Amino acid sequence: MQESRLFKIVYYLLDKGQATAPELAEKFEVSVRTIYRDIDALSGAGIPIYTEAGRNGGIHLMNNFVLDKIVLSEKEKQEILTALQSINFTQNSDNSQTLQKLSALFHLSSENWLEVDFSRWGNKGTDKEKFESLKVAIIHQKCVKITYANSYGTISERIVQPLKMSYKSMSWYLQAYCTKKQDYRMFKLTRIIDLEVLTDGFQKSSLPKLDQSPHETYNTIVLCFPQNMSYRVYDEFDRTQISKQENGDLIVSVEMPEDEWLIGYLLSFGAQVDIIAPVYLRDIIAKQAKKIYEKYQS
């Protein structure tokens, strides 16, 4: 117990710079006397820790105690912190204490236990290259020129100021300020056909809360799938959006944008989906399916 607390005191001082004995006593739920004993124990173990009296005094570690042991550049430190924060985010867990320790130490080794493959099937890694390029642009605040295909099939060239990458519904998105639209936008990574990181920099601003695509209309779509489509239903929809019927059918109620992508998405299920609502979508799908049939019959 004491050994664990000693390490935590060191981590805390690395992060905060200094602390008072009462502050440490309150944080670690021990007496001030116990804290002073811990300081003596750390000093005896060779940790360069000392106390300083006076108004601005407190408990300190000697300057550059850890930094002298680090052979990483500032860029490499930022890369490590960015990676750690990404892991913390994607696992949806609170690893703030671990991040605090690692960001303070920087010399802990870790096993190569995690790999994220951004490429699609049959892809040679261009999605990964796009992600890496955008990450660099975000960290170093560089403008990016992108060629983008929106959900209506329109392809356009934009200059954007990249601010954040986010993962939603099995896809990566870039949140950025679009200089063409003079507004903040979200761009789906897989729809970025080409990109170039420019030398032009920008001043990072606070990112407002963005919807997935603020200019698309979202309606509630209700779908019915047979039980043999469970593998795909649970792959692509959240459990809270799915209800199972007594006969095994799966009813999905989900808010989705009504655009060309939705039509193609519903057609991808073939005859294994029944559109319950909105009813007019049934006619749109039927007409599109007829066009496909006639195309391959000619």
Amino acid 10 reads V
Structural tokens at position 237: 């929809």
Single out the residue of 13, 2, 1 nearest to residue 100, CA to CA.
13
Q: Name the one residue in this structure whose structure tokens are 């939705």.
A: 262
pLDDT of 101: 55
Q: Mind listing the pLDDT tens digit for each residue in 52-85?
A: 877 767 888 876 665 444 445 556 555 655 555 5
Amino acid 279 reads V
For residue 56, the tally of other CB atoms under 10 A from its CB is 7
Q: Name the one residue in this structure whose structure tokens are 């300190």.
A: 60
Single out the residue of 100, 15, 56, 39 nearest to residue 30, CA to CA.
39
Single out the residue of 176, 196, 172, 171 nearest to residue 186, CA to CA.
176
Q: Mind listing the pLDDT tens digit for each residue in 190-207?
A: 889 899 999 999 987 777
pLDDT of 143: 95
3-state secondary structure the chain: CHHHHHHHHHHHHHHHCEECHHHHHHHHCCCHHHHHHHHHHHHHCCCCEEEECCCCCEEEECCCCCHHHCCCCHHHHHHHHHHHHHHHHHCCCCCHHHHHHHHHHCCCCCCCCCCCCCCCCCCCCHHHHHHHHHHHHHHHCEEEEEEEECCCCCEEEEEEEEEEEEEECCEEEEEEEECCCCEEEEEEHHHEEEEEEEEEECCCCCCCCCCCCCCCCEEEEEEEECHHHHHHHHHHCCHHHEEECCCCCEEEEEEEECCHHHHHHHHCCCCCCEEEECCHHHHHHHHHHHHHHHHHHC
Q: Is the peptide bond preceding residue 48 cis, with omega within 30 degrees of 0?
A: no
Pairwise CA distance, residues 148 & 155, whole Å: 5
Scored b (16 or more CB within 10 A) or e, 147-172 reads: ebebeeeeeeebbbbbbebeeeeeeb
pLDDT of 171: 79
- Polymer length in residues for the chain: 298
Pairwise CA distance, residues 116 & 127, whole Å: 11
Q: Mind listing the pLDDT tens digit for each residue in 164-179?
A: 888 876 678 899 999 9
Q: Mind listing the pLDDT tens digit for each residue in 86-138?
A: 544 444 444 455 555 555 554 433 444 345 666 666 555 677 788 888 988 98
Q: Mind listing the pLDDT tens digit for each residue in 254-283?
A: 988 888 888 989 999 999 999 999 999 999
Question: Global pTM?
Answer: 0.48
Pairwise CA distance, residues 12 & 6, whole Å: 10
